[in-house]
Copies of this chain bind each other. A is one copy, B any other.
Amino acid sequence: MYNFTFQNTTKIYFGENQLEHLGEELKRYGTRVLLTYGGGSIKRIGLYDKVMGELKKAGMTVFELSGIEPNPRHSTVNRGVEICKKENVSVLLAVGGGSTIDCTKAIAAAAFYDGDGWDLVAGSAPVTRALPVFTVLTIAATGSEMNAGAVISNMETNEKLALIHPLLQPKASFLDPTNTYSVGAFQMACGAADTLSHIFDTAYFTAAKKMDMVDRIMEEVLRTVVKHAPTAIKEPENYEARANLMWASTWALNGFLQTGAVQATSCHKMEHELSAFYDITHGLGLAILTPRWMEYILDESVASLFKKFGVNVFGIDASMSDMEGARSAISKLSGFLFETLGLNSTLTELGIDDANFNVMAKRACRGGVLAGFRRLTPEDVEKIYRMCL
């Protein structure tokens, strides 16, 4: 019972002015660093200059890969690998959110592979070695800063897949809540939805009996998001709110809450098809899908768990029947995502119609059915997509 292994070796530097430790950490692994980032927001907030200052101070030679996109592409991974090979890079530093970090992890592994980095993601070639990865986090969302996973998209084949390997675990990550001050309402809301979904999808809404303490801690982390996300959106420089969200998103997917749980990830698999086909923000896709998935699978066997969630996270009336409570919980979650956080509630609003639902549903059910909390067939998944229109 509850058999699991747990190990998470990433060192976390949390808070302000921790970057002074960046040089000492990186230097252990070499002096030739590839700095990776996205669209340049790190330059606007002055973080780029701070990081470069620390790297120069430590005597590092810096190469750069910029323009890493949301839903990072395998083609960008290959661009990074090229630099690593050409410049004999010894260490990788991702400055950004989950997309930048994920792309960097894939580069770390693909740097030791001769061929298209996509092969590692698709599983047609194994990860054998990886360059050491460090991160400076700028968005509270994916938890990639303290786990061994990376999600990479191939827009040529409309595939979005996860690469998970212990060698991809970051050596150290720098979490300064003030670096998220400039993250706007929409991205904050998507990040909050992503954090909630990580707990729902990998640990909380699962069939396995979970250890009491861990189950309750999940609810604390869920409550943390529900409490602090609206404040962080209203008051972008509220340190308390930003700090709690940052640490909550890290813990939502660093392995601890997953101890003993059977990972279901149904909504993540359905969302990956949405992003792969329409390049939408992952957290937004999850927000739209999750309440519909709950509604679709709702029956007497799951009602008590959904109700417990509503009671413990949203404070709904515990005296309701399981089924009433479950419906109320779904409605509270929808209200939080679509009203409080202000996210779009339908795919239609995003300009997505049912044209690809059939093929997306089949792909989400790789291997025939989508295992998870409830077993879903491609027909089930297609119906859930339609509920999102």
Q: Which residues of A contact B (CB under 8 A)?
A: 1-18, 21, 172, 211-214, 216-217, 220-221, 223-224, 227-228, 239-240, 243-244, 247-248, 251, 256, 259-260
* B7 and A14 form a contact (CB under 8 A): no
In the complex, what distance in Å separates the CA atom of A221 from the CA atom of B15?
24
Task: Return the chain B residue nearest A13 by Cβ.
Answer: B5
- Please name all residues of chain B whose beta carbon is closer than 8 Å to the beta carbon of A240 when the two chains form the complex: 1, 211-212
- Please name all residues of chain B whose beta carbon is closer than 8 Å to the beta carbon of A6 when the two chains form the complex: 11-12, 14
* B9 and A212 form a contact (CB under 8 A): no
Known: A216-B220, A220-B220, A224-B216. A243 touches B12 (CB 8 A): no
- Please name all residues of chain B whose beta carbon is closer than 8 Å to the beta carbon of A3 when the two chains form the complex: 14-18
Q: Which of B9, B227, B256 is A7 in contact with, Cβ under 8 Å?
A: B9
Counting every copy of the chain, the complex holds 2
Task: Return the chain B residue nearest A171 by Cβ.
Answer: B7
Q: Which 6 A-B pairs have the closest CB atoms?
A: A3-B15, A7-B11, A213-B224, A6-B12, A9-B9, A216-B220
* B239 and A212 form a contact (CB under 8 A): no
- Please name all residues of chain B whose beta carbon is closer than 8 Å to the beta carbon of A2 when the two chains form the complex: 14-15, 243
- Please name all residues of chain B whose beta carbon is closer than 8 Å to the beta carbon of A220 when the two chains form the complex: 213, 216-217, 220
A sample of 14 inter-chain contacts (CB < 8 A) reads A1-B16, A1-B243, A3-B15, A5-B18, A6-B12, A6-B14, A7-B10, A211-B247, A212-B228, A213-B220, A214-B247, A216-B224, A217-B221, A256-B256
In the complex, what distance in Å separates the CA atom of A40 from the CA atom of B155?
62
- Please name all residues of chain B whose beta carbon is closer than 8 Å to the beta carbon of A228 when the two chains form the complex: 212
- Please name all residues of chain B whose beta carbon is closer than 8 Å to the beta carbon of A14 when the two chains form the complex: 2-6, 259-260
